[in-house]
Structure 1
Amino acid sequence: MKNRNHALVALALASVLLSGCGAPSANVGPAAAVHAGAHGHGSSSPAAAVPGGPSDAALMVCGGETMGNVTSILGLTSEQHTVNDWADGTFTCTYHLGEGALEIAVKEAADPAAARTYFDAMQALAKGATPIEGLANLGFPAYETADGSAVFQKDNMILHVDASDLSETLGPDSISRTAFAYQLSTTILACWKEHP
């Protein structure tokens, strides 16, 4: 999507304001286990940040706010099962939805320059990557793909919301999976700004 609909941006920002943001709650489960490169084999509950593990900001993608946004946008009646993993500097949260998996990953680089290099490499390798431009990118390097991914770089982190395993239209409003990935990305980025 080269031209972002202003209504979609307004909807994404409104969902941020209505959902609220927070750091991972204190009563979350044990820290994510380190698994060498395999996704989907980690802890099945959100994790608290630990030395050498993912940051609180990365953990937010598997936390209550993101779960609530997924549930609300898709019109689900209950929260969905998640599996998280921490490997090679990347925290991944996989939401097991009725129609497929939604994967949200946060790569934590050593610094913003390393993050930009990683982001640029991801964009170069992504099939059909289209830069997200103007107000829609919220001032960050960003791109999306027609198959349902949205990727943003903020500081030393790269956020990748991958909805490509889901059907082409989702939820009671029949939004595209790419619009869904974008909407989730922007709500997560807003939480990161509120809780750096």
Structure 2
Amino acid sequence: MLVPALAGLSILVLAGCGAGPGTAVSGPSASVSASHSGDPGAGTPTASPTDIPVAAAGGPSAAALMVCSMEIQEKIVQILALASAPGNGATWADKLFTCTYALPAGSFVLSVKEAADPDAAHAYFQDVQRSTAGAAPIEGLANLGFPAFQTPTSAVFVKDNFVLTVDAVALPEPLGPHQVTRAAFAYQVATTVLACWSE
């Protein structure tokens, strides 16, 4: 089980989560790719009003857009002690919203699959778990009451009709000044998203 490696990391620390600055995706045929980056040297993400994500008809929901929000950027900056906020780019296709962060060490990907209902989300989650090499269930308090699994480089949770995947496979290990593993990093970012979804 990978979760014990998270000792000393805070899990649910965000308050006031919202669909903050990130990548705007709109329109029923949105599969556009756009980017957003913070002010170099500012230490925290910034964005113009036009960068605010909008849940449009046929586009990703506000919950899915959360993975590209300022709250998640700030969490990444905090965990890795980055000098500036990472840029990100997003895509929306087949009910899958994907946000890719350009970190100094490599790409970091968060995605949300929006299923028709919770049963369909659980079926999708189980298919992904079966097809993922090295998948190990996250159990006990560490799963926060949701079906979840982890690999040495990723964390996957299902909540309601959403399946959240956080993937750090393209990053080196260990990460940041605290020398966290990719699994610990993915898990902490995933639980930050879940904390926002639960508000």
Q: Which moved more, 1:117-126 or 1:44-53?
A: 44-53
Partners in 1 of 2:85 and 2:24 — Cα distance? 19
Amino acid at match of 1:11: S
The structure-2 alpha-carbon separation of the partners of 1:20 and 1:29, relative to structure 1 and needing over 3 Å to count, comes to same
| Residue correspondence of structure 1 range 121-140 to structure 2 within 5 A | 121-140=127-146
1:21–1:126 distance in 2 versus 1, CA, 3 Å: farther
User: Unmatched 5+ residue regions in structure 1?
Assistant: 36-40
State the Cα distance separating 1:11 from its structure 2 match: 1.4
1:31 aligned residue: 25
* SS of structure 2 residue aligned to 1:117: helix
Determine the C-alpha separation between the residues in 2 that align with 1:139 and 1:29: 30
Structure 2 unaligned blocks of 5 or more: 37-50
**Secondary structure of the corresponding residue to residue 77 of structure 2:** helix
Q: TM-score, normalised by structure 2?
A: 0.85
Q: Which residue of 2 aligns with 1:12?
A: 11
Residues 86-135 of structure 1, C-alpha deviations (whole Å, 9 max, x = no match): 11001110001111100000000000000000000000000100000000
Q: How does 1:136-151 map to 2 (within 5 A)?
A: 136-146=142-152, 148-151=153-156
Aligned-pair distance for 1:23? 1.8
Q: Which residue of 2 aligns with 1:42?
A: 33
> Hey, what does 2:172 align to over in structure 1?
167
Q: May I ask how many residue pairs the two structures share in their alignment?
A: 182
Give 1:4 deviation, angstroms: 2.3
Give the equivalent residue in structure 1 for 2:187: 182
Whether the aligned pair in 1 keeps the contact of 2:108 and 2:170 (CA below 8 Å) is yes
Q: CA deviation at 1:7?
A: 2.9
User: Could you report, residue by residue, the CA deviation over 1:27-47 in whole angstroms, capped at 9, with x for unpaired residues?
Assistant: 766425723xxxxx6121452
- CA RMSD of superposed structures (Å): 1.8
Aligned to 2:79: 73
Identical aligned pairs, as a percentage? 48
Give per-residue Cα distances to partners, 1:11-37, cap 9 Å, x unaligned.
113xx2xx4242213x766425723xx
Residues 44-82 of structure 1 show CA distances to partners (whole Å, capped at 9, x for unaligned) of: 145211111111111111000000000110010101110
Secondary structure at 2:4 match in 1: coil
Measure the CA separation in 2 of the matches of 1:50 and 1:172. 39
Q: Deviations over 1:130-162 (max 9, x none)?
A: 00000000000000001x100000000000000
* CA distance in structure 2 between the aligned counterparts of 1:139 and 1:157, rounded to whole angstroms: 15
Pick closer, same or farther for the CA change 1:43–1:137 going to 2, 3 Å: same
